[in-house]
Amino acid sequence: MEAARRRTNLLAGHITTGNEHLILETADVAAPSGNLVLTQVKDGVALLTLNSPPVNALSPQLLQALEKAYTEAANNSSVKAIVITGKGKFCGGADITSFSTDAKATEASNLRTHNFFNTMESGSKPVVAAIDGFALGGGLELAMSTHARVITPTTSLGLPELNLGIIPGYGGTQRLPRLVGVQKAVEMILKSAPVKAKEALDIELVDAVVPREQLLQEAGKKALELSAKPESLRRSLRLEDKIDKETALQILGFASKQVSKIAKNVPHPKAALAAIQEGIENGPERGLERERKEILKMMGTPTTQALISFFFATKSTTKVPGVTDKGLKPRDIKTAAVIGGGTMGSGIITALIFSGITTYLKEINQKFLDQGVERVKANVFSRVKKGKMTEEAANKTLSLLKPTLNYDGWKSVDIVIEAALEDIPLKQKIFAELEGVTGPHTILASNTSTINIETIGEKTKSSDRIIGTHFFSPAHVMPLLEIIRTPKNSAQVLVDALGLSAKLRKTPVVVGNCVGFTANRIFAPYSQAAAFLVERGVDPYRIDKAIESFGMPMGPFKMMDLSGVDIGVYVGGIIGNAYPDRTYKSALASTFQKAGRLGQKTKAGMYKYEGRKAVPDPDNIAPLIEATRKANNVTDKIEMTDDEIVQFLMYPVSNESTRVLEEGHVTQASDIDVCAVFGYGYPAYRGGPMKFAEQEGYSKVAAKLNEWHGKYKHPLFKPSNWLLNAAQKK
C-alpha cells in the first residue's frame, strides 16, 4: 500500500497544471475515401489493417469498417485467426473531430463500440494486435479487446483521455486494471502516462516485443498458436488474477482522496475512478455501463470543451501563414552556442545537450565559466538522482558541452542564443560581435523576456536572422518556447527555429515583437490588479488562495517571491513604461524591495520562508502595505468574495490577451492560450485566457471591466475594442 500511496501522490498533478505535453494524437487531414480497413488472408490468418493515415484515428466510419471486416473474417471458415494492425502507426485514439455533444448520438456510438469490442473478445477465433509506434486512447482499448498484443521496441501505450476532460470510453476502465493491476491502471489513467515497450512487457500489458521487421510474422505466429489452443485465450474482461477486491478498493479510496485535493475543480478524474470501482465491486458489465454513463456526463461540459480546445491549440502553433506554407524544410541544428551561464543560460544549454546538440558556453571570465558548467552538470545529474538517466548517459550528454572564453570555431555554429543580463547596450554589443564571428547562415537569437528584438539588432546588418527565443525557467523543463519574429526575418529562419523547438521537444508559439511579447505582457495586468487589491485592504494571502483555487499553480505573491521582488520591479517597470496609458503603477513591490524583502532568496518577501516553505507573515508586512497605501494616496477599502477576486485578476489577463490578438502579434487566439498554459501554468481545463473569456461570456467580462473602470477610474480595467465588439456579437 505504501507504494500505491507514493505513486498516487502525484497522479493528478499535470491534469490541474496543464504543464505537460498532451499525448493523444489525431489526424490533421480527413480520412481517405478508399478502404478504411484493408483485409488480407494468408495461411489461415486474416490480416486487418487500419488504413486512415496519419494516425488511424478511430472515427465512426473506421470503427464500422473494422467491425465489418472482423465479422467477415470471423465467419470465414478458411480463417483460423485474426491479426489487427495499422498502416504506419497502430492507432492514436478516437477521432476527436467526431466528438458529439448530442447525448443520444454519443450513447449510441459508445454502446456500439462496447458491443463490438466485447464480441471480438468473447469470440472463438483468436485476435492478436500487432502494434508499432503507439496505441493510445481508443487504440489501446481496441488492442486490449484482443487476446494478445505484440509490439515493437519503440512503441508507447497509454490512455490519455483525461487530457481532454473525458475518461476512457471504449472499455479502458475495465480492461486495463484486469491486465496490469489496479494500482498501475490508476496511475496510467490519472496521469495520462504512456508506458514504453519494456515496461509494457514487464506489467503484462503486452505478450511480446519483437523487431519491427518481424512484427506481422510474429503476430501471425502467435495467433495460430492460440488457434491451436483455444482454451488458452485470455479475455481481458474475465481476468481476475490481478484483482484483489480489498486491496483494489483501498487503492481507489486513497486515489479518490488525492484527486479531491489536487483536481477538485474537474470531474473527470473521479469519474474514471468511479467506473473502475463499479467494475471491481459489481463486475465488468456494470463497470462498462458506468463508463458509458460517466462519458455522457463529460461530453459538452465546459471542462471538456476547454481541454479539447487546448488540445487543438497545441497542434496548431506550428502552422504560421506566410512561413510554414512555403514548402521550406528546417535545417538540422547540430551545433549551438549560448552566451551566459546563469540560471537561464545553463537551463538552455541543458535543453540543447539533452537533445544531442553540441553546445558552446561562453562567459566573460573563468570564474563565471566554471559556475556555468557546474550549473549544467547539476541539471544533468538531477536526472541521474531521479533515476531517469544513467551516470554513463549523463557523462555522454555532458561531453557535448564546450566551455569557452572566446569565439573560436563559431563560424560553423548553427544558432547562437544570447542569455546575458537584460541590458540594451550590452546586448547590442554582443550582437555586433556575433555578426563578425559567425557564419552568414547562423541564427542569432536573444532570450530576452522584455527588450525589443529590433532594438537589440539595430547595430548590425543581419536583421533577417536575428530573432527572439524566449525560454521559460527552468528552460530544460518548461515546455513553452516563444519565438519572437520581426518584419525583417526570413521565413527560413523562422522555420529553422520551429524545427529547433521540435528537436527540443517544446511547444513553440511564434509571436510578434512587442514589449513583454505575449506571455509576460498578458500577465502584467494580473500582477497590477493584485497589487491594486492589496493597497485597498484585501489580504494578499487570501488573494493567493483564491487564485490557487482557480487552478493556478501559485498565487501572484508566491510567484513574486519565487521570481524575486527586485526582478518584478525591473520587469514591471519596463512593461509599465511600454504601456503607460493603462498600467497601474503600484509602489507595493518597490516598497518591499527597499525593505530588503526580495522573496525566497532573502528568506522574506510577501511571505517568510522556512526552508522552501512559504509561511504568512502578516505582522511584518502590514507596515509595508500601509506605506504603499500612503505612497499611492489610497484611502478606500474594498470588500470582495473569492470569486470576485478571481475575476478581478483574471479578466484583465483576458482583456490584454485580446489586445495582443487585435494588434496582430499572434496568428490565432489559441496561440495566446498555449502561452498562458505552458508559460505561466494557467489551468488547461479552463482553456487559457481567450477560451476562459469565451466561456465566461464576452459580454459578462466586458461588463465587469466597464463596471470597475467606472468605479475605480483607472484605465487598467478599460475593455479593449476587440472585447467590446465580441460582447456585442454575443
Q: Which three cell numbers mark 679?
A: 508559460
The answer to whether residue 161 is catalytic is: yes
Contacts of 209 (CB under 8 A, 6+ apart): 150, 151, 152, 153, 155, 197, 198, 200, 201
pLDDT beyond 70 at 32: no
Average pLDDT (289-296) is 95
Average pLDDT, the chain: 93
Concatenated DSSP letters of 376-392:
HHHHHHHHHHTTSS-HH
pLDDT beyond 90 at 394: yes
The angle formed by the CA atoms of residues 142, 214 and 236, to the nearest 5 degrees, is 25
CA distance 533 to 625: 11
- Looking at residue 378, what is its pLDDT? 97
pLDDT beyond 80 at 25: no
pLDDT beyond 70 at 45: yes
pLDDT: which is higher, 2 or 627: 627
DSSP state of 39: E
CA distance 722 to 655: 9
- Looking at residue 1, what is its pLDDT? 40
- Looking at residue 33, what is its pLDDT? 40
**In angstroms, how far is the first alpha carbon of the chain from the final one?**
52
> Is the backbone of residue 88 left (phi > 0), alpha (psi -120 to 50) or beta?
left
The HSE-up count of residue 624 (CA atoms within 13 Å, CB side) is 25
Burial 682-705 (b: 16+ CB within 10 A, else e): bbbbbbbbbbbbbbbebeebbebb
Pair type for strands 415-418 and 443-446: parallel
Q: Which amino acid would we find at residue 356?
A: G
pLDDT digits (tens, 9 = 90+) for 453-470: 999 999 999 999 999 999
Residue 29, classified by CB atoms within 10 Å of its CB into exposed (0-12), middle (13-18) or buried (19+), is exposed
Average pLDDT (418-434) is 95
Residue 406, classified by CB atoms within 10 Å of its CB into exposed (0-12), middle (13-18) or buried (19+), is exposed
Place of cell 486487418: 48
Cis peptide before 54 (omega within 30 of 0): yes
Q: 100 falls in which pLDDT band (50, 70, 90)? A: low
CA distance 476 to 347: 5
**Strands of 34-169, DSSP E:** 37-42, 45-50, 81-86, 127-131, 134-136, 148-151, 156-158
pLDDT beyond 80 at 31: no
Average pLDDT (52-78) is 96
pLDDT beyond 50 at 24: no
pLDDT beyond 90 at 11: no
- Confirm if 12 and 258 have CB atoms less than 8 A apart: yes
Domains along the sequence of the chain with CATH = 2-300 (3.90.226.10), 335-511 (3.40.50.720), 519-664+697-729 (1.10.1040.50)
pLDDT beyond 70 at 292: yes
- Confirm if 645 and 601 have CB atoms less than 8 A apart: no
Residue of 67, 161, 187, 218 marked active site: 161
CA distance 402 to 416: 13
Question: Other CB atoms closer than 10 Å to residue 388's CB: what's the count?
Answer: 10
Average pLDDT (360-389) is 97
pLDDT beyond 60 at 7: no
Three-class DSSP category at 667? coil
- Confirm if 178 and 237 have CB atoms less than 8 A apart: yes
CA distance 496 to 315: 18
The answer to whether residue 141 is catalytic is: yes
CA distance 70 to 47: 10
pLDDT beyond 70 at 380: yes
- Percentage above 90 pLDDT, the chain: 91
Average pLDDT (177-202) is 97
DSSP state of 631: H
pLDDT beyond 50 at 521: yes
CA distance 149 to 129: 5
- Looking at residue 13, what is its pLDDT? 39
Average pLDDT (256-267) is 92
pLDDT digits (tens, 9 = 90+) for 402-421: 999 999 999 999 999 999 99
Pair type for strands 208-209 and 148-151: parallel
pLDDT digits (tens, 9 = 90+) for 672-713: 999 999 999 999 999 999 999 999 999 999 999 999 999 999
Concatenated DSSP letters of 433-491:
HHHHHS-TT-EEEE--SSS-HHHHTTTSS-GGGEEEEEE-SSTTT--EEEEE--TT--H
Average pLDDT (44-53) is 97
Three-class DSSP category at 34? coil
State how far the alpha carbon of 723 is from the alpha carbons of 352, 651, 657, 717, 719, in Å: 40, 11, 10, 12, 6
**Strands of 138-237, DSSP E:** 148-151, 156-158, 195-196, 208-209
- Looking at residue 98, what is its pLDDT? 77
Residue of 25, 67, 121, 141 marked active site: 141
pLDDT: which is higher, 1 or 415: 415
- Looking at residue 4, what is its pLDDT? 39
Average pLDDT (232-253) is 96
Nearest one of 116, 108, 124, 109 to 141, comparing CA atoms: 116
Phi, psi values for residue 672, rounded to 5°? -65, -40
- Percentage above 70 pLDDT, the chain: 95
pLDDT beyond 50 at 19: no
Lowest mean pLDDT across 1-15, 227-241, 491-505: 1-15
| CA dihedral angle for residue 710, residue 714, residue 719, residue 721, rounded to 10 degrees | 110
- Looking at residue 541, what is its pLDDT? 98
